[in-house]
Amino acid sequence: MKRFVLFALSALVLFSLAACTDSGNTAGSDNDGLKQLSGQVVMPLEGTYLYIYKKGMDLYGPAFAVSQATGTDGQFDFSLPAGDYVVVARKRQGGESSGPVVAGDNRSEFINLTVSADVKDLTIVAPIKVGDTRRLSEAADATKTGISGIIFDSDGNPLEGTRVHVYDHVQMSERPKFVSEKTTPDGRYLIYLPKGGTYYLAARDKFGGPPKLGDLYGRYDQGTIEPSAVVVTEGEVLKDINITVTKVW
């Protein structure tokens, strides 16, 4: 049976992955050819997610499979078909299952995993991230260049807790270049940029991958089919760039 064991040690997360066998009496097999993966946190670290990517996938995009967050009892389980994968563990301070990993969060290295009849043991270390060079960094504040506005819901009310995603291509299909902090109770956001330029904006309540059913999502446009460009001048904070989000159906 394939087992996953997690160990929490100070600022580190340690866990082992062991492949299950294909014997007929193995509880980890099901009728669809999936391998049932299960495990237990022996030194509890609540709220850790295990992300499984197929080889060749974007390792910072949506995962092929994501475990449930480990609970106080440390238990988790999910199923995978046989194949080659890349595994990473992430634990965010706020408990989110998606979004960038920032300073203070835990993250492991990317580990190659083959799910087959052969037993394989892997150990993963996920230290606390001590720096954040990704999109939520405040290092751009000194440029005095940015965008601000209000996010509204479909009824025209300011919406708290959404983020603005900033892209530099009109297709908006790649990962965003920058992401704002969550909007305040009055729906306001302010995102600093390292330089001026032409940008395209979307607002949403979730990180990672295309919007799913039930998510809140909206693009900045001025009544056009394509997103409207936002041109930011160096040293300027462009104001009143407001976006309305609606629920995806």
What integer best gives the mean pLDDT of the chain? 74
Banded pLDDT at 140 (limits 50, 70, 90)? very low
Where residue 145 sits, what CATH number does that domain have? Answer: 2.60.40.1120
Assess contact for 183 and 161: CB atoms under 8 A.
Answer: yes
Same domain, 110 and 202: no
Banded pLDDT at 220 (limits 50, 70, 90)? very high
Of 91, 125, 159, the last residue of a domain is 125
Banded pLDDT at 82 (limits 50, 70, 90)? confident
Where residue 15 sits, what CATH number does that domain have? Answer: 2.60.40
Of 102-111, 177-186, 188-197, 212-221, which gets the smallest average pLDDT? 102-111
Same domain, 7 and 116: yes
CA dihedral 47, 174, 81, 41 (to 10 degrees): -10
Same domain, 121 and 178: no
Same domain, 121 and 184: no
Residue 51 domain-assigned (yes or no): yes
Banded pLDDT at 65 (limits 50, 70, 90)? confident
Assess contact for 39 and 15: CB atoms under 8 A.
Answer: yes
Read off the tokens for 46. 């609540």
Same domain, 63 and 160: no
Same domain, 94 and 171: no
The fraction of the chain above a pLDDT of 70, given in percent, is: 67
Residue 202 domain-assigned (yes or no): yes
Banded pLDDT at 244 (limits 50, 70, 90)? very high
pTM for this model (two decimals): 0.49
Residue 91 domain-assigned (yes or no): yes
Banded pLDDT at 171 (limits 50, 70, 90)? confident
Residue 7 domain-assigned (yes or no): yes
Assess contact for 102 and 94: CB atoms under 8 A.
Answer: no
The per-residue b/e assignment along 163-181, b for 16 or more CB within 10 angstroms, e otherwise, is bbbbbeeeebeeebbbbbe
Same domain, 112 and 150: no
Does the pLDDT value for residue 96 go beyond 50?
Answer: yes
Of 103, 125, 147, the last residue of a domain is 125
- In the chain the beta strands, taken as DSSP E runs, fall at 3-9, 12-18, 34-43, 49-54, 65-66, 75-81, 83-91, 106-107, 111-115, 121-125, 146-152, 163-167, 178-179, 188-192, 197-204, 216-219, 230-232, 237-238, 243-244, 246-247
Same domain, 77 and 168: no
Please report, in angstroms and rounded to a whole number, the separation of the first and last CA atoms in the chain.
Answer: 39
Residue 132 domain-assigned (yes or no): no
Render pLDDT for 3-59 as a digit per residue (tens, 0 to 9): 444 433 333 444 444 433 333 333 344 445 666 555 554 444 678 888 889 988 878
Find, among 93, 247, 226, 249, the residue nearest to 159 by Cα: 247
Residue 151 domain-assigned (yes or no): yes
Does the pLDDT value for residue 2 go beyond 70?
Answer: no
pLDDT at 149: 95
Average pLDDT of the segment spanning 175-181: 85
Read off the tokens for 232. 């930011």
Residue 209 domain-assigned (yes or no): yes
Same domain, 35 and 91: yes
Residue 222 domain-assigned (yes or no): yes
Same domain, 93 and 205: no
Of 125, 151, 175, the last residue of a domain is 125
Same domain, 191 and 102: no
Tell me the C-alpha distance between 164 and 181, whole Å. Answer: 8
Number of domains, the chain: 2
Same domain, 154 and 205: yes
Q: What range does the domain containing 95 cover?
A: 3-125
